[in-house]
Structure 1
């Protein structure tokens, strides 16, 4: 989240509207703090896999990617946060081994979120994963999954999927 805040503050300096940028960032900080204070979580954080793209091998969010920060703010745990990268290709065996409870699909490009979801639901190799067995998918639009003003909305969407299902 700090990356998004810093980007907004830098844009404020560049365009000579520092006070407006500081006010906006403070609004986002307050909104997120208020949301997190009211977030009702129970038990262990749900195990989340971020599916960006790829059928032969998935492209996913590692420890330093924005979706990991969003997932953590929503009370979840990215199963690929052991990768010391922003984004990386992994093998499907690693995903199956981690057995995510929920799959976050990043929606953009020629392959739609629905096609990605169908690929996972219809592939026998994934049939025993908790997320697939229980049909637990949530979609983030590209603008929600990258640093920017839609991140707070994304955190709320993820928290609803993690804790209110």
Structure 2
């Protein structure tokens, strides 16, 4: 029902099990890009009930319950009870009310694999990811965490990420420190330009998640945050909308962002 769940299934070698996919809005993870293009697209966003049933799925998988069985938009998506009544099982990687958590992400990834009898494959991936994160931490060593502003969108207020979520965790593993880590993760907090300037970030992560290009976002931020160390030093990094969102993305993005925040260090290269 969304890109994260589709990539997760493909990482587990389950291309043949996929009856369809929907709601892709990011660059596909390179190692599964070819297989992803072979999966039937049921809808650009949410498939209607009729389209979903036409794929004859035995099971619906989504990254969060919002995609999987929330009944949103009203009248177009199934509730979990409606799926059950139709004989369709459902599984979501993050349930309502749960904050994004990497350890839970690993656990659910393995649990999803167990449904399809490929637990060993998932456990191998999780072990590789944890090993990669340990190597990243070894590269960082005793380096000071770089105060970082994560910019999503907006011209005032500005939408960012709070603490305790997956992006906050990933940023920490990359050697950064979220300047708004004291804010709640959900809903994504909105902050004033003045508050960003006051906290003086030394780097800015731009989330590539809407129609505005990262280049246009950077141009805007250079104009309104000119007094910050990040702008003075030209320390801008672009991250995917789904950055850190799967085990393999977490491992890769920790190194990609780490290289941006700590250009003097040498990080492992991952897909």
Same fold, TM exceeding 0.5? yes
Q: Which residue of 2 aligns with 1:65?
A: 165
Question: In 1, distance between residues paired with 2:152 and 2:105?
Answer: 20
1:25 is aligned, of 116, 120, 126, to: 126
2:235 is aligned, of 125, 131, 136, to: 136
Q: Which residue of 1 aligns with 2:72?
A: none
Give 1 or 2: higher helix fraction. 1
Question: In 2, distance between residues paired with 1:91 and 1:115?
Answer: 19
Question: In 2, distance between residues paired with 1:48 and 1:65?
Answer: 15
RMSD: 1.7
Count of aligned residue pairs for this structure pair: 162
Where structure 1 has 5 or more consecutive residues not aligned to the other structure, the ranges are none
Q: Is the 8 A contact 2:147 2:176 kept in 1?
A: yes
Secondary structure of the structure 2 residue equivalent to 1:105: strand
1:41 deviates by 4.5
Larger radius of gyration: 2
Question: In 1, distance between residues paired with 2:166 and 2:204?
Answer: 15
Q: Which residue of 2 aligns with 1:80?
A: 180
2:199 is aligned, of 74, 98, 104, to: 98
Q: Deviations over 1:69-128 (max 9, x none)?
A: 1111112211000113242112222111111000000112201111110111123xx221
CA separation of 1:148 and 1:92: change in aligned 2, threshold 3 A: farther
1:9 is aligned, of 100, 110, 123, to: 110
1:2 deviates by 1.7
Normalising to structure 2: TM-score of the pair?
0.56
The range that moved more, 26-35 or 47-56, is 26-35
Where structure 2 has 5 or more consecutive residues not aligned to the other structure, the ranges are 1-101, 265-271
Question: In 2, distance between residues paired with 1:145 and 1:19?
Answer: 22
